[in-house]
Structure 1
Amino acid sequence: MTAAPQHRTGVYPGTFDPVTLGHMDIIRRGAKLVDRLVIGVTTNPSKSPMFSVEERMAMVRREVEGIEGEIRVVSFDSLLMDFAEREDASIIVRGLRAVADFEYEYQMAGMNQAINPRIETVFLMADVCLQPIASRLVKEIAMYGGEIRKFVTPAVKADVTARVTAIGRKGS
């Protein structure tokens, strides 16, 4: 008797405020590693979001349309390992841009491993041309009237531009 094939679920957590081309690169590549990729949109008390969780989820859902594989977008407000356990994940997918990311992510992976050794953290290096992109910088550039089209999709650019218009640009 053969056992049923085991499906591998991965979780890619983040604030995605807004979702960038760097995030999309990690999503596309992460989706190839698992049978099901769950994108967990979370709050982060140390960040001041431009978009609500609901808006960010809608943005990510729109952007992942057409990516091959089973992808779900959900929100969570808990410890990452509790969320991963609820999703029956065996992998946490994390993107790395630079050495500073690595130091933080290495520490987080160690803490997560201590909490739940059944779940592995997999690091994916962002594409070289996307490595400098950070949501925080995209928002800052947009708030000062700079061009962000190199960092986000046209639809996300429109979302950010509309929000900046609504809340008012800095330095004007």
Structure 2
Amino acid sequence: MARIALFPGSFDPFTNGHLDTVQRASRLFDRVVIAAMTNTSKRPLFSAAEKLALIEAATAALPNVQVVAQPAMLTVAYAQSIGATALIRGVRNTADYNYESGIADMNANLAPDIETVLLFGDKRYRFISSSLIKEVAAFGGDVSALVPANVDAALKAKFGSEPHA
């Protein structure tokens, strides 16, 4: 039986921290499904279709990774529908740990058959957040070392070379 993991997130944009987490998860599981979701509390920079294309290109070298747009349903329900036995979550710091532990407890209550696997972020990427990447890129800062090359190009296309307020 294949070991399937679901890595859900808004990925707006997909960063090198996300990519590192996916690469590591792809070594632990037979199949990793990245579910690009919409966070209703945030205003997205990229459309769902753009996020899917960017993540697919960034993870193309990982044959056991698939990218989908998550339907409007509970994450654990979607995980069950694809046969996933684990949810992958990246943790950068204690604030992430505290936040993720509460979600993991709720998910365990809803679906005891699904484990949450926390992968601690590589120290090179622990300070990165998608919000911070967007902020720096909007003001013309160089984020090329912090995101995959295709995402860097997409950010430049969105913001141009001039800073935006």
TM-score norm. by structure 2 comes to: 0.95
Structure 1 unaligned regions, length at least 5: 1-5
Instruction: Kindly state the Cα deviation for residue 150 of structure 1 after the two structures are TM-superposed.
Output: 2.1
> Which residue type is aligned with residue 68 of structure 2?
V
Instruction: Name the structure 2 match of 1:7.
Output: 2
1-structure distance, mates of 2:141, 2:59: 26
Rg larger for: 1
* Residues 6-155 of structure 1 mapped to structure 2, 5 A cutoff: 6-67=1-62, 69-76=63-70, 77-155=72-150
2-structure distance, mates of 1:56, 1:78: 19
1-structure distance, mates of 2:76, 2:46: 24
Could you give the per-residue CA deviations for residues 66-95 of structure 1, whole angstroms, max 9, x where no partner exists? Answer: 12x411100112211111011110000000
4+ runs of 1 displaced by more than 2 Å?
Answer: 168-171
Instruction: Kindly state the Cα deviation for residue 139 of structure 1 after the two structures are TM-superposed.
Output: 0.3
Could you give the per-residue CA deviations for residues 84-117 of structure 1, whole angstroms, max 9, x where no partner exists? Answer: 0111100000000011100100000000000000
1-structure distance, mates of 2:151, 2:126: 18
Could you give the per-residue CA deviations for residues 121-161 of structure 1, whole angstroms, max 9, x where no partner exists? Answer: 00000101111111110000011111111211222111001
RMSD: 1.3
Q: How many residues are matched?
A: 164
Secondary structure of 2:124 counterpart: helix
Structure 2 unaligned regions, length at least 5: none
2-structure distance, mates of 1:10, 1:119: 9
